[in-house]
Amino acid sequence: MPQFANYGFFSHLQHRLNKTLPFTVHQMGVASVADTLYSHLHKNNGSVENSLSKLRPKLDSKCVTEVLNKCRPKQPQLGLRFFVWAGFQSGYRHSAYMYRKACNLLGIDENPRIICDVVETYEAEGGLVNVKMFREVLKLCKEAQLADVALWVLRKMESFNLNPDTVMYNVVIRLCCKKGDVEMAEKLMGEMSFNGLCPDLITYVAIVEGLCNAGRAEDACSVLEIMRVHGCLPNVVVFSAILDGLCRSGCMDRALELLDEMEKGGDCSPNVVTYTSVIQSFCKRGQWTEALDILDRMRGFGCHANHVTVFTLIESLCIGGRVEEAYRLIDKFLVEHGVSYGDCYSSLVISLIRIKSLEEAEKLFREMLAGDVKPDTLASSILLKELCMKDRVLDGFYLLEAIDNMGCLSSIDSDIYSILLIGLCQRTHLTEATKLAKIMLKKSVPLKPPYQDGAINILIESGEKDLVNQLLGMHKGI
């Protein structure tokens, strides 16, 4: 009798658990989560969302992707409705990657009308639609860069007696600005205030960037005062965006005035990105004296140059035929800004190659190695590639070997190894080819097609079968 009572108790408990636990716990043996979700998309009884919600599933990105894959061929609308619903379920949120995945799987980029169709289906069914659903839809519009559709969705919310929030307005405003419809973006920002919403820093940054891209840098400047009136203090991001717009518009005097304001503002002090943006603008105009003045001004403000500042000035001087000035400028960067020898001379090597002074670039690079100055990855890769293109694979190999001896090979473009190896093999420099293959093994650099077969055949013919097997084993992950 006690055993029978216990059996009845546990049967009752199991029945209760089956009603309360997520189906992933007690139904995994019957069907996968994705299969169950997909089947309930077709048992909606008038509402896909209600049917799914009764399951209370435990979602993850893999499960969501599987359902989308099942819907992809013929039922993208159902897939979209599932994705929107999944985005606000307890314990799960879509990652940025998943929005891109959904756009690809459901063909939203090619057929943006699918979003409008789903929203209209919500309306026709008359089911419960909430703000969270529209937020998910707008995030998909943002990922697919659908400004017109996003604006339509925002307006359609009124039909459901729903009010968009600041985040939703910001999505549409930014999309309009990127599209170039800054007038609509301004209208939406005014509409926010009318609806009792306060534009935030994200709103203003989008408007400022939109105005600047539309060539309305002076109008962007006026946004600063609007922000202050509404109690939203501009930060360095807003100032830098306006400054960049002024520079691109050629309003350099106004840009310098704004830079003055930033230097006096305290909370919006210019940083290295701000100063480098102004330097770039002067360099593009060939105004190197003014660019160097900004560099001095930068140091006077207590801000030090970085490798981007260095490359900007050095490349501009080289392109302008002022190579000697570029050399002299390196001393300034070293002494006054604390930039490393490696960053300075690597920038000069790249700049010399770009102005077709390969011989001088190679000489400088070898002097760096001799002086124990480590070149950066980009300079090393570009120089080695140039030597290969000039059919100087043997010189390239010895240079790569010297770089390897300094421990600087960690990030060199892996294609370069393959190009060098096939070049050495084809020219019967087999001793060097064997050394390079061993370096590749040490660095776990795979031999890439279309160079793979040719190099392998030549190495086998030269008696390096074991080495080839090791290379192939690494390629296969053995």
Q: Cis ω on the peptide bond leading into residue 375 (within 30° of 0)? A: no
Q: Is residue 121 a contact partner of residue 133, using CB atoms and an 8 Å limit?
A: no
User: Helix, strand or coil for residue 450?
Assistant: coil
- Report H helices in 371-413: 377-389, 393-405
Distance CA 312, CA 301 (A): 20
Q: What is the pLDDT of residue 141?
A: 97
Count Cβ atoms below 10 Å from residue 273 Cβ, excluding itself.
16
Round to whole Å and give the CA distance between 145 and 124.
26
The phi, psi pair for 286, rounded to 5°, reads 70, 20
96/100 Cα distance (integer angstroms): 7
Identify the three-state secondary structure at position 362: helix
pLDDT in tens, 196-225: 899 999 999 999 999 988 989 889 889 888
Taking the whole predicted model, whether its pTM rises above 0.85 is answered as: no
Other CB atoms within 10 A of residue 395 CB:
14
pLDDT of residue 203: 94
DSSP letter, residue 373: P
Residue 118 corresponds to which amino acid?
A: V
- Asked if residues 281 and 255 have their Cβ atoms less than 8 Å apart, the reply is yes
pLDDT of 478: 43
Residue 350 in contact with residue 307, Cβ under 8 Å? no
Going by the DSSP 8-state scheme, the letter that residue 92 receives in this structure is: -
Rounded to 10 degrees, the C-alpha dihedral 180/185/186/190 comes to 170
Q: How confident is the prediction along the chain (478 residues), in pLDDT tens digits per residue?
A: 444 444 444 445 444 444 444 544 344 433 488 888 888 787 666 678 888 888 777 889 999 999 999 998 789 999 999 999 999 998 899 999 999 999 999 999 999 999 999 999 999 988 789 999 999 999 999 999 999 999 999 999 999 999 999 999 999 999 999 999 999 999 999 999 888 899 999 999 999 999 988 989 889 889 888 888 888 888 888 888 888 888 888 889 989 998 998 888 766 889 998 999 999 999 999 999 999 999 999 999 999 999 999 999 999 999 999 999 999 999 999 999 999 999 999 999 999 999 999 999 999 999 999 998 989 989 999 999 999 899 999 999 999 988 888 876 666 777 888 888 888 888 888 889 888 888 888 888 877 776 666 677 777 777 677 777 776 665 554 4
